[in-house]
Structures are given as C-alpha cells and as structure tokens.
Amino acid sequence: MPNSLLSYELRAEGIAISITLALAQTIVIAVFIGSIAGFMGGIHYYLELISHFHLQYLMIALICLLFFIALHAWWSASTTILIILLNLLVVLPYYIPRLNVDLKEPYYPMKLLFSNVESKNINFSGFISYVIEENPDVLIIQEATESWINRLQAIEKRFPYNKALPRPWSVGIALYSRLPVAQFEVITLGSERLPGLLARINHGGAMLSVITIHPRQPLQRHYFRQRNEQLRDAASIVQGLPAPKILVGDLNTSLWSPYYTDLIRHTGLHNARQGFGLLPTWPTYMPVRVGMIPIDHCLVSPDIWVFHMRTGWNIGSDHLPIVVDMEIPG
C-alpha cells in the first residue's frame, strides 16, 4: 500500500511538471512571436502596438529560462536564450552612455521637467509641491485643462515666461520658463491640426528651441494614422530649426516603434534617456515598474549634453514625470 501511494504521488508530480513545462514552452513561443512581430510594426497598427513590450518579453523569457534550467529542459533553455538575446539587442543600448559631446564654450546647465498630468487628475497640490521641490528651469505639462492652468497660477511667479493652451481632455499643453523666452509659437500637426508649442528660449546668449507635442493615442486605426501624421509634421518642423533644439512630450510611441525610429532618423535627435536605462513612464497603475513602457520622451540635438535623466514622483497621473538635467551650448 505505501509503495502504491508513493507511485501514485510520483506519477501525479510527473504529470504536474509536464503540464507546467508545456505551459512554459507555450509562453516562450508566444513571447518569440511577439518579439518578431514587434519588428514589423510598420505593416499594421496591431503589430506596432506589439512592438512596445520588448522589456516585458525579456523579463518573461528570463523567468522561463530559470524554470527550464531547474527542470534540466536544456533544449527549451537554449531556445529561450536566443529569445533573450533578441530582446537584449533592443533594450541594452539604452543602458550604454553616449560618447561625450564636444560642447562649445561656454555652456550652461538647464533642468527640464515634463509631465503628462492627466486631465482627470485632481492632485494639484501634490504636483505643485513636486515642482517646487525639483525647481526646474523649464516646466512643460500636457493634458492641461482649464482647471490645471488655473491651479498652476500659484507658481507663475517662479516662471515669468509662460504660455498655456488649455483644452478639455488630452490635447492641452502649457510651457513655463524661468529663462527668457524670446517667442512662443503655436504649431499645428497633421490633418487634425493638433496644437503644439514652440518656445525660443534665450539661454547663455544662444537661442534654444523647445518644441512640445502630444500626438494621439494609436489605439484605433484613424488615431494611429493621425499620430503618424503628427510625428511626421513634428519632424519637418524640427528639421527646419537650428541647433540647439529639444523635442519633448508624451509621444504615444515607445523606443521600438518604426515610427519613433523614423522620427529619430529624420530629426537627428538623441533620446535623453540614453545611458540612463529605459525609464518606463506609463501606465502608473501597473503593480510593478517592469510592466510599464517608455512613451514620454525628451529628444535633444547632438550638441546638448545630458548628464542625468530620471523619472519623478507619482503625482496621481497615469504617467510618471521625467526630469532631465542637461548642458546647453552658448
């Protein structure tokens, strides 16, 4: 009787391990398909949505690899290593610092704080406290409603140069600067004529161009097309500006989208997070940071040196703010 019971338990354990192994192998196959499909984001907007999750593909593959090693499932482990390497190729470069920029003399420090505050968010006091603590030279907010603009009047003395385009829902934008702004210009993007802001900031005797845009969320086919139009128009505007220049905003695309790649190629800008990691910013309601993706960006011309970038407090929005410390050539 004891031998029969032991035999039954061993068979049950073997079946459980086989089922779990088969499940892990299925997950790895799905991760492989997602990883490959993500490189074909220019074909269809569903594939472009899949392209945003290379960090998640990497982490899931690592967990499965440990499981396969524990079970001595070497064939599955070797296949999983290839999937890990595939995703490392597109994740790891953001942890490698840029080569030093040959800055012109003199150069001047500038801190930029950007935040998609979320139009429905009412944590006004929390955000204002955060801005006061960070004390940026330039503050940019998106999803700026009338309520947000009215509440931020409390900090306008800190930023004597400001321009707000309050709008309902998600298209409002505002820029606040303690540095002199020679000109604010409202720009429009795509057939939808989505508003953006261009500020020409006098910093250290040089004219720095700062553009902030907030393209549409590409969750529906027509919004996908509009976002791509808006990114193309932004690239054209950036191309026509002299350096130094910065493009910042919730671009509603990650580092691995072909449309993000086109934006970088056409503008010649660099992502400020280069060397500081992926710094995921959305959505904050994920229980772990590794479940988030990087869609809030600060892109800078090659003559600007970024010496630090990080994500900020959770201020009640579905996005984390980003803070960028940089040196601007004079």
Phi–psi pair at 35, nearest 5 degrees: -65, -45
One domain for residues 126 and 58 = no
**Domain CATH for 112:** 3.60.10.10
- How many domains does one find in the chain? 2
Question: Among the three residues 55, 70, 94, which one is the final residue of a domain in this structure?
Answer: 94
Beta bridge partners of 189: 194
Q: Tell me how far apart the alpha carbons of residues 3 and 302 are, in angstroms, rounded to a whole number.
A: 73
pLDDT over 70 percentage in the chain = 93
Furthest CA-CA distance within the chain = 91
One domain for residues 204 and 133 = yes
Among 260, 263, 277, CA closest to 94:
277
pLDDT score for 6: 46
Please give the helix or strand (H or E) that residue 286 lies within, else none: none
Q: Tell me how far apart the alpha carbons of residues 279 and 3 are, in angstroms, rounded to a whole number.
A: 56
Question: Among the three residues 79, 94, 109, which one is the final residue of a domain in this structure?
Answer: 94
State the average pLDDT over residues 285-298: 94
One domain for residues 87 and 170 = no
pLDDT digits 0-9 by tens, 117-131: 999 999 999 999 999
One domain for residues 213 and 319 = yes
* pLDDT of 61 above 50: yes
* pLDDT of 193 above 50: yes
Q: Tell me how far apart the alpha carbons of residues 194 and 196 are, in angstroms, rounded to a whole number.
A: 7
One domain for residues 7 and 61 = yes
One domain for residues 234 and 123 = yes
Please compute Rg for the chain using Cα positions: 23
pLDDT score for 71: 87
CB 195 within 8 A of CB 144: no
One domain for residues 192 and 300 = yes
CB 322 within 8 A of CB 309: yes
pLDDT score for 45: 85
One domain for residues 85 and 228 = no
One domain for residues 52 and 158 = no
* pLDDT of 234 above 50: yes
pLDDT band at 1 (very low <50, low <70, confident <90, very high): very low
State the average pLDDT over residues 272-296: 95
Q: Which residues contact 186 (CB under 8 A, 6 or more apart)?
A: 165, 195, 196, 197, 198
One domain for residues 27 and 117 = no
SS3 87: helix
Phi–psi pair at 128, nearest 5 degrees: -60, -40
* pLDDT of 83 above 60: yes
Q: Residue 47 belongs to what domain range?
A: 2-94
Mean per-residue pLDDT over the chain, rounded: 92
pLDDT digits 0-9 by tens, 86-143: 999 999 999 999 876 666 668 899 999 999 999 999 999 999 999 999 999 999 999 9
* pLDDT of 150 above 90: yes
* Long-range Cβ contacts of 221-224 (<8 Å, 24+ apart): 221/45, 224/45, 224/48
pLDDT score for 328: 93
One domain for residues 89 and 127 = no
pLDDT score for 101: 61
* pLDDT of 49 above 60: yes
* pLDDT of 146 above 70: yes
Question: Among the three residues 66, 94, 122, which one is the final residue of a domain in this structure?
Answer: 94
One domain for residues 78 and 170 = no
Q: Is the dihedral of CA 3, 7, 12, 17 positive or negative?
A: positive
- Whole-angstrom CA distances from 323 to 22, 59, 92, 301 are 44, 26, 21, 17
- Whole-angstrom CA distances from 76 to 13, 35, 53, 71, 98 are 20, 17, 22, 10, 36
